[in-house]
Amino acid sequence: MTKKKILIIEDNEQNLYLTTFLLEKEDYEVVQARDGQQGLELAVSENPDLILLDIQLPVMDGYEVARRLKQAEETKAIPVVAVTSYAMAGDRETILAAGCEGYIEKPIDPDSFVERVRRFLSQI
C-alpha cells in the first residue's frame, strides 16, 4: 500500500513540527508549506491526498487558499481540512463556505489528531 501524502500549510514552527511528527510516526508522507502561496504551488506539484490548512497565514490567508484550491482543476478534488484556533460561532460556516471539508481545532490534541485526520482520509 502506498503512503498517503498530506500537505500541511502552517506558518507556526511548533504546530508544523508537532503535526508532522504525529503524522510521520503513523507512516504518512508529509509535505510542508509555510505560507498560502507556497501551499498552492505544492498542492499542484505534489498532488497530496489531503491538505491540512491553517487559516492565519502570511502572504495569503487560509480562506483564500481554500477558495483557490477548490477553483483550480488540478486541486479541486483534494480534501482540505482547516486546522485553526478559529472555533467561535460562525467560524465553522465561514471555513466550510471557503471550501474546506471540515476543521480540527487548535491547540491540537496529540491523542486524537491522527485519528481525526484518518477519518477525513477515509472519506476519499
φ/ψ (deg, to 5) at 83: -120, 105
Question: Which letter does DSSP use for residue 3 in this model?
Answer: P
C-alpha cell at 56: 492565519
pLDDT digits (tens, 9 = 90+) for 38-59: 999 999 999 999 999 999 999 9
Query: What is the predicted pLDDT for the residue at 1?
Result: 64
Report the C-alpha gap between 67 and 13 in whole angstroms.
24
Domain count, the chain: 1
Domain of 21 in residue numbering reads as: 5-122
- Pair 76, 70: CB distance under 8 Å: yes
In this structure, the strands spanning 50-53 and 29-33 are: unpaired
How many other CB atoms are found less than 10 A from the CB of residue 41? 11
pLDDT digits (tens, 9 = 90+) for 93-118: 999 999 999 999 999 999 999 999 99
Report the C-alpha gap between 98 and 77 in whole angstroms.
14
Chain mean pLDDT for the chain: 95
Half-sphere exposure of 94 (CA within 13 A, CB side): 12
Before 110, cis peptide (omega within 30)? no
> What CATH number does residue 117 fall under?
3.40.50.2300
pTM of structure: 0.96
